[in-house]
């Protein structure tokens, strides 16, 4: 790759491209320089798109490019780097300068990318990260000598602690003053490049590091084919037990707050449809979802901590053999695990998978992984219908049921991948390789920043999609209004009003199709509404019960447990119904955003259409079997 003509450079705002291998601290450095909250993780493949931010206190723009080991990469995210730096990406011009990041503890490997970047001839600064780890392992890196050997400025930094950032900011305010790198003799082959890197490392002291015995000792356990799986299972059990055990007080407090707001609103505001919209629509809808914020925070804290510490890469190696059985490889594990937060970034992270066939299979099965949008649904039904009792020591039944749902989703994803790779996507599993970063404990500031970023995304979703859906649903549940029946009690009249509404009519229309699953028309309305976003079913049921049987604002959980069908005198929700609905949400693809992104990532609408139909059929069959088996056994 050669640099673009000089005439292309310098037009518009000054832009500096941030280039580096995965796990070098590149995105952490980007966040520190720009004040951005871009996602940070201690495993390859975190950055799958170009990010751009403005240097604090300057007009200089910094581009955070995807991590790559070479400037001629195979995966789509690596190819983005190649196209941007060569000026062949539509709508992008060649950067004015390069900021190349290398890990001081793996400098020999990183120098290959540094050399390729220097060969472009653009003004370049090399940033060496993790210098604190070099000192901790008895090393002493000669930064000044490295700068002389490479012919460019070299700075040592510790990004997450802010060490060395101020001198770097000074250089970044004027990239035009950076000297262009001198021409280096081109290495004839890979062996010559490695020899050059070895020589540089010897001269600057990078070859005199003590072995990382701590990482090696821990890896003997976590990478063991038996002990590694046992540790992974224990971590998952701890996660799902904590979701119920630790979040309950905060959830109760939020529930009580919204309950009081509903009571106060009706006491203070004048009677009328605006007050009803506020109390039964917005408060009941949005509040019913915000109750689950404490559990979302616990989930994301665990996930970010495991990523930053370096555990996720080990988990990928442990499950690589299982992934191979289903036609995938360990690199697909990271995108699939990312789907525990949301399927959208998980599918985008599949760009790190080099094989087009395996990348497509990973994208198609990603929606089976249990995203955070399912968590409010799972929690609501489990807390309402699964007894809060201990099963084995500290292990509770509710946490184990939650874990079972996550495992069912993962098992279905793997089974579907196996089916795809034996039918539509036949092929050979590619070779799996992934760097194992050393274990690093993130700072609390970094961890809190990441968790807040994820929580903010959840709150934004509640304040946009769920808010809009709540308003629309309230209108559908309250119009048209039938003529009052003098023979009806207030509760009976309210029920008649709901059933006569547009939403009630729609629910009754699809009831024959879902009745075999144990669902009534109310659940049907929720299923349709959840196509916007899975957690909207909680807001939908909250509105139905707020404007239906509940005389005032009560917890949705209590409303579900006490709901009785006046036609039969039986409870609408039973344990069998709850289990059936849980299974439906494990399998069904109920997320418009996921469908749209799947079409974008696969380049066709036929794949999301296939995924939607396949998952819907699987959800109906799974729910049918679950409901009738539960009725027979319970």
Give me the pLDDT at residue 40, please. Answer: 47
pLDDT in tens, 322-344: 788 888 877 788 788 888 888 98
- Residues whose CB falls within 8 Å of the CB of residue 243, separated by 6 or more in sequence, listed in order: 295, 298, 299, 375, 379, 399, 402
Q: Please count the CA atoms within 13 angstroms of the CA of 453 that sit on its side-chain side.
A: 16
CB of 3 within 8 A of CB of 94?
A: yes
Give me the pLDDT at residue 564, please. Answer: 86
- For residue 395, tell me if it sits in a domain: no
Please report, for residues 467, 493, 539, 562, the alpha-carbon distance to residue 263 in angstroms, rounded to integers and kept in the order given: 20, 21, 18, 21
- For residue 199, tell me if it sits in a domain: yes
- For residue 311, tell me if it sits in a domain: no
Q: Please count the CA atoms within 13 angstroms of the CA of 150 that sit on its side-chain side.
A: 32
- For residue 475, tell me if it sits in a domain: no
- Residue 308 CB neighbours (<10 A): 24
First to last CA, the chain: 67
Give me the pLDDT at residue 175, please. Answer: 92
Q: Which residue is associated with the tokens 């037009």?
A: 11
- Residues whose CB falls within 8 Å of the CB of residue 599, separated by 6 or more in sequence, listed in order: 605, 607, 608
Q: Which residue is associated with the tokens 């540790």?
A: 231
Q: Please count the CA atoms within 13 angstroms of the CA of 306 that sit on its side-chain side.
A: 23
- For residue 354, tell me if it sits in a domain: no
pLDDT in tens, 534-556: 999 998 898 888 755 443 334 78
Q: Which residues on adjacent β-strands are paired with residue 125?
A: 99, 153
- Max CA distance (Å), the chain: 96
- CA atoms of 273 and 269, how far apart (whole Å): 11
Label the pairing between strands 97-103 and 124-129. Answer: parallel
SS3 398: helix
Q: Which domain holds residue 13?
A: 6-210
Mean pLDDT by runs of 10 across the 634 residues of the chain is: 42 87 86 70 47 86 88 79 84 90 91 91 94 84 93 88 86 90 71 86 86 87 89 85 82 86 89 89 87 88 88 82 82 84 85 86 95 92 91 83 93 94 84 76 82 86 87 90 85 84 94 96 93 89 70 66 84 94 96 90 93 97 97 90
Question: Considering only CA atoms, which of 518, 515, 511 is closest in space to residue 631?
Answer: 518
Residue 306 has which token pair? 């495991």
- For residue 148, tell me if it sits in a domain: yes
Q: What is the pTM of this model?
A: 0.80
CB of 175 within 8 A of CB of 14?
A: yes
Measure the CA angle with vertex 537, ends 531 and 542; round to 5°. Answer: 150
User: Which CATH number does the domain housing residue 45 bear?
Assistant: 3.40.50.300
SS (H, E, C) 108-133: HHHHHHHHHHHCCCCCEEEEEECHHH
| DSSP conformation letters of 445-496 | HHHHHHHHHHHHHHHHHHHTHHHHHHHHHHHHHH-SPPPP-TTS-HHHHHHH
- For residue 497, tell me if it sits in a domain: no
- For residue 62, tell me if it sits in a domain: yes
What backbone phi and psi angles, to 5 degrees, belong to 92?
-120, 140
Question: Considering only CA atoms, which of 167, 161, 102, 160 is closest in space to residue 128?
Answer: 102
- CA atoms of 361 and 114, how far apart (whole Å): 34
Instruction: Count up the domains in the chain and report the number.
Output: 1
Helix (H) or strand (E) holding 247: none
Q: Helix axis angle, 397-422 relative to 575-587, nearest 10°? A: 40
């Amino acid at each position: 790759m050669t640099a673009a003509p000089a005439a292309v450079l310098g037009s518009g705002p000054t832009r500096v491209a941030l280039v580096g291998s995965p796990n070098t601290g590149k995105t952490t450095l980007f966040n520190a320089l720009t004040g951005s909250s871009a996602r940070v993780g201690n495993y390859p493949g975190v950055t799958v798109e170009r990010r751009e931010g403005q240097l604090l206190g300057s007009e200089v723009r910094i581009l955070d490019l995807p991590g790559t080991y070479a400037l001629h990469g195979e995966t789509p995210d690596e190819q983005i780097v190649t196209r941007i730096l060569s000026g062949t990406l539509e709508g992008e011009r060649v950067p004015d300068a390069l900021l190349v990041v290398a890990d001081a503890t793996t400098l020999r490997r990183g120098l290959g990318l540094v050399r390729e970047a220097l060969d472009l001839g653009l003004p370049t600064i090399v940033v060496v990260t993790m210098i604190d780890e070099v000192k901790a392992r008895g090393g002493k890196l000669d930064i000044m000598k490295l700068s002389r050997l490479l012919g460019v400025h070299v700075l040592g930094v510790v990004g997450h602690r802010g060490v060395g950032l101020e001198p770097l900011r000074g250089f970044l305010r004027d990239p035009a003053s950076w000297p262009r790198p001198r021409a280096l003799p081109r290495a004839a082959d890979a062996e010559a490049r490695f020899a050059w890197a070895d020589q540089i490392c010897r001269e600057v002291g990078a070859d005199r590091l003590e072995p990382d015995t701590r990482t090696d000792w821990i890896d003997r356990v976590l990478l063991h084919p038996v002990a590694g799986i046992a540790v992974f299972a224990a971590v998952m059990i701890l996660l799902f037990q904590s979701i119920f055990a630790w979040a309950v007080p905060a959830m109760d407090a939020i529930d009580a707050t919204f309950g009081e707001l509903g009571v106060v609103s009706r006491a203070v505001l004048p009677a009328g449809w605006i007050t009803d919209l506020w109390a039964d629509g917005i408060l009941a809808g949005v509040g019913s979802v915000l109750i689950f914020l404490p559990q979302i925070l616990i989930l994301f804290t665990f996930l970010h901590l495991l990523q930053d510490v370096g555990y996720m890469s080990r988990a990928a190696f442990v499950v690589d053999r299982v992934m191979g059985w289903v036609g995938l490889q360990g690199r697909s594990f990271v995108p699939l695990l990312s789907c525990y937060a949301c399927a959208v970034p998980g599918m985008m992270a599949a760009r790190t998978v080099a094989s087009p066939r395996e990348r497509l299979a990973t994208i198609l099965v990603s929606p089976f992984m249990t995203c955070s949008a399912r968590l409010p649904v799972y929690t609501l039904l489990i807390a309402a219908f699964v007894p809060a009792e201990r099963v084995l020591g500290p292990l509770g039944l509710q946490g184990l049921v939650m874990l079972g749902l996550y495992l069912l989703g993962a098992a279905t994803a793997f089974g579907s991948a196996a089916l795809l790779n034996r039918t539509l996507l036949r092929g050979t599993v590619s070779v799996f390789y992934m760097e194992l970063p050393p274990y690093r404990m993130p700072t609390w500031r970094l961890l809190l920043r990441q968790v807040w970023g994820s929580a903010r995304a959840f709150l934004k979703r509640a304040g946009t999609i769920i808010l809009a859906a709540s308003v629309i649903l309230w209108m559908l549940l309250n119009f048209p209004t039938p003529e009052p029946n003098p023979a009806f009690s207030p509760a009976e009249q309210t029920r008649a009003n709901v059933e006569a509404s547009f939403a009630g009519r729609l629910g009754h229309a699809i009831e024959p199709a879902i009745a075999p699953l144990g669902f009534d028309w109310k659940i049907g309305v929720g299923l349709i509404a959840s196509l916007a976003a899975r957690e909207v079913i909680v807001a939908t049921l909250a509105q139905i019960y707020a404007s239906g049987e509940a005389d005032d604002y009560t917890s949705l959980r209590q409303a579900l447990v006490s709901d009785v069908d006046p036609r039969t005198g039986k409870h609408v929700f039973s344990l069998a119904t709850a289990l059936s609905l849980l299974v439906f949400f494990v399998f069904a693809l109920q997320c418009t955003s996921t469908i749209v992104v799947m079409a974008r990532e696969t380049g066709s609408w036929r794949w999301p259409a296939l995924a939607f139909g396949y998952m819907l059929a699987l959800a109906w069959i799974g729910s049918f079997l679950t409901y009738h088996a539960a009725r027979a056994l319970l």
